[in-house]
Amino acid sequence: MKKIIFLLIVATTILISCKKKTENIIIDNNNAPNDTTVNTVLIDNYINKAYISLLGRKPSATEQGIYSMQLVNAKASIAVRTTFIQQLQTTAEYKQRLYSIARTQLLNNFDTTDIEGLRKSDSIQLQDTTKRAIWFAIQESYDNLVNLQRIPTQLANSTLNMQEMHRRCCFNVFYDGINMGTQNFVTSVFDHFMFRYPSNDELKNGIEMVDGQSRSLLFKGGKSKKDFLTIVMASNNYFEGQVRDLIKRYLYRNATTVELSTLTQQYLTSNNYQQLQLTILISNEYVGIK
């Protein structure tokens, strides 16, 4: 019995000794490998976000794989980010998306087939001699509808800028129907493009200008709805509003004072909406790099 107890004690001592030795062993060059998963996930999320922001859809597996490889290999450098975003901006989908967003924001995503029906109606009325008293108004409506129809094609061939697209989206019977009455029209344009309500003087002069009286707005003179929209779309307030819109849309926050000053001046100077988008979409904040 004593012999058995002795053997158990010896065995236990050996096991404890072996355990301590095992815990103290250090293997050279056995550091944990770098965790590349975080970087890959971040880049894949960036690609996904950019596709949704610019094209309104997620990338296919093939698209995701191609751009992920490029960005990972270049460690998501600014140069490769720029190339990636610019490639998306040259696609037909991107141009279509610009108009789709404008239609949703300004025209309640109306059915574009309605344009043709109204255009034909105006065309018939222009041939009606009993309508001569209102011929100018009918012709203007007809021209505005034709201009709406031309937006997709002109965006596709890069012969239409954002200001003109926005002006056309507000200068038609659809926008008038949504924002009925001159006051609603004026306040809606201010809200959509300047993100504010007009001052008392701006509202008064804007209403009277739209109604055909010669008035001054934002330091420019005009006497028609067309003049009103042209003045608004050429103003610093409009360009600043586009900066506010994109910062809110892409970064989910309000633009800072510095961003408003810097990006508004950049957009005013370049008159390049794609460049404004690019500046935001290649930023570390949008990518998710802290």
Domain ranges, ordered by start, for the chain: 37-90, 92-178, 238-287
143-161: pLDDT as tens digits: 999 999 999 999 999 999 9
CA dihedral 216, 221, 222, 223 (to 10 degrees): 60
Q: Which residue has the tokens 């001569």?
A: 132
Amino acid sitting at position 39: N
19-40: pLDDT as tens digits: 444 444 443 444 444 444 448 9
The DSSP annotation for 200-231 comes to HHHHHHHHHHHTT--EEETTEEE-SHHHHHHH
42-98: pLDDT as tens digits: 999 999 999 999 999 999 999 999 999 999 999 999 999 999 999 999 999 999 999
What pLDDT, on the 0 to 100 scale, is given for residue 204?
Answer: 98
Structure tokens at 148: 């709406």
Amino acid sitting at position 36: T
Residues contacting residue 107 through CB under 8 Å, at least 6 positions apart: 169, 174, 175, 178
- Strand blocks (E) in the chain: 215-217, 220-222
Whether the pLDDT of residue 130 is over 90: the answer is no
CA terminus-to-terminus distance, the chain: 69
